[in-house]
């Protein structure tokens, strides 16, 4: 993969991330949803990510970190995976902060906020996804959003155009001819850290 092609895809990804943030902010404002003081940190949720382009974006952010900080992130990723592979209570998924989490006076915060993937950006507000030939999938939003009891129609974020654009960027990066031939991406943040940048 040429550096120029990767850089072009990542520039478009940054633009798409801005659109996601704007869509999220609009829905959150309608709901009056704020993450401030939330004890149910969704950064302890096991999110999975599915594109090479976001994996490459994550690594663009990671490689810009100072060496000791990247070492600490790698160590946290190893710890995260070990704790999920060996839960203290068998069958009970442990709550372990994402390896990119940092402590702050307000609680956990993302240490790579500008390159956090789509799932992290859109989690929280209720949203819908129109799947061609398979109907509409609806997601109710996080517990706090649901507790606000205002999951009214205008607050629904439509993921469809955002996901469509992400799929287009994936094709730009990977190449139409190799789409579907590379191993499917189905990774947590910790796994993407431990595996290193995607080999495409």
Q: From 8-16, 66-74, 80-88, 98-106, give the range in contact with ligand SF4 by CB under 6 A.
A: 98-106
Distances (CA, A) of 45 to 33, 78, 93, 94, 119: 19, 17, 10, 9, 11
Binders in 14-53 for ligand SF4, by CB under 6 A: 35, 38, 40-43, 47
CB of 188 to ligand SF4, least distance (A): 9
Structure tokens at 25: 């902010």
In whole angstroms, what is the distance from residue 109 CA to residue 97 CA? 10
Binders in 104-163 for ligand SF4, by CB under 6 A: 110, 112, 116, 120, 123-124, 142, 144
The number of residues making up the chain comes to 200
CB of 151 to ligand SF4, least distance (A): 13
Q: Cβ distance 141 to 151 under 8 Å? A: yes
Non-local (6+) Cβ contacts of 118 within 8 A are 17, 20, 49, 54, 162, 163, 166
Q: Would residue 32 be called left, alpha or beta, if left means φ above 0 and alpha means ψ between -120 and 50 degrees? A: left
In whole angstroms, what is the distance from residue 103 CA to residue 86 CA? 24
In whole angstroms, what is the distance from residue 27 CA to residue 31 CA? 6
CB of 120 to ligand SF4, least distance (A): 3
Binders in 155-184 for ligand SF4, by CB under 6 A: none
CB of 8 to ligand SF4, least distance (A): 23
Nearer residue to ligand SF4 within complex by CB, 50 or 123? 123
Structure tokens at 115: 């390159």
CB of 57 to ligand SF4, least distance (A): 11
Q: How many residues bind ligand SF4 (CB under 6 A)?
A: 19
CB of 157 to ligand SF4, least distance (A): 12
Q: Is 189 in the site for ligand SF4 (CB under 6 A)?
A: yes
**Binding ligand SF4 by CB under 6 A: which of 10, 23, 53, 98?**
98
Kindly list the residues in this chain that would bind ligand SF4 in the complex (CB under 6 A): 35, 38, 40-43, 47, 98, 100-101, 110, 112, 116, 120, 123-124, 142, 144, 189
């Amino acid at each position: 993969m040429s550096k120029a092609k990767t850089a072009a895809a990542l520039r478009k990804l940054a633009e798409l991330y801005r659109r996601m943030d704007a869509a999220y902010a609009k829905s959150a404002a309608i709901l009056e949803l704020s993450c401030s003081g939330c004890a149910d940190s969704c950064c302890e949720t096991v999110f999975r990510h599915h594109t090479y382009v976001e994996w490459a974006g994550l690594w663009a952010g990671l490689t810009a970190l100072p060496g000791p900080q990247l070492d600490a992130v790698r160590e946290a990723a190893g710890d995260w995976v070990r704790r999920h592979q060996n839960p203290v209570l068998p069958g009970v998924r442990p709550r372990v902060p994402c390896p990119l989490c940092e402590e702050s006076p307000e609680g956990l915060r993302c240490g790579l906020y500008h390159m956090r993937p789509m799932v992290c950006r859109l989690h929280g507000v209720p949203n819908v996804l129109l799947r061609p030939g398979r109907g509409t999938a609806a997601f109710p939003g996080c517990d706090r959003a649901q507790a606000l009891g205002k999951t009214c129609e205008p607050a629904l974020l439509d993921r469809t155009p955002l996901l469509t654009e992400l799929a287009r960027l994936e094709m730009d990066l990977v190449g139409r001819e190799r789409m579907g031939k590379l191993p499917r991406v189905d990774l947590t943040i910790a796994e993407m850290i431990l595996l290193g940048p995607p080999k495409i």
